[in-house]
Amino acid sequence: MTRWLWAALAWFSLILGIIGAFLPIMPTVPFILLAAFAAARGSKRLRHWLVCHPKFGRAIIDWERDGTVARRAKWLATGMMSVSAVSMLVFSPVWWVPALGIAIMGSVTLWLWRRPEPRA
């Protein structure tokens, strides 16, 4: 039963990560990392697919091994958060919603840029 729950969490996280790739207001990487974590406990086949994937694999391995994030990923995340911040400013009917979102994204950006980068 526990293995099934881990597998379900892995698939659910992967689906959310894929949705996040197309929606600027939703993150992708945290869900993909959660999918890899859960798949290691519930689905060896999904885990293998994730770490061998040409887009996700290297980032998952770097994160699990050293807690590192590639510079390209940092720039992409920062850019997507900027797009989200601007869209929140433009479309939000109240001021505090974008203010809260931008404060959270700013904190995440600071944390992200403090992460080490993988060795070549």
pLDDT tens series, the chain, 120 aa:
799 999 999 999 999 999 988 887 778 888 999 999 999 999 999 999 999 999 889 999 999 999 999 999 999 889 989 988 999 999 999 999 999 999 999 999 999 999 999 987
SS3 content of the chain, % helix, strand, coil (to 5): 80, 0, 20
Contact 42, 7 (CB under 8 A): yes
Residue type, 60: I
Domain assignments of the chain as residue spans, ordered by start: 1-67, 69-120
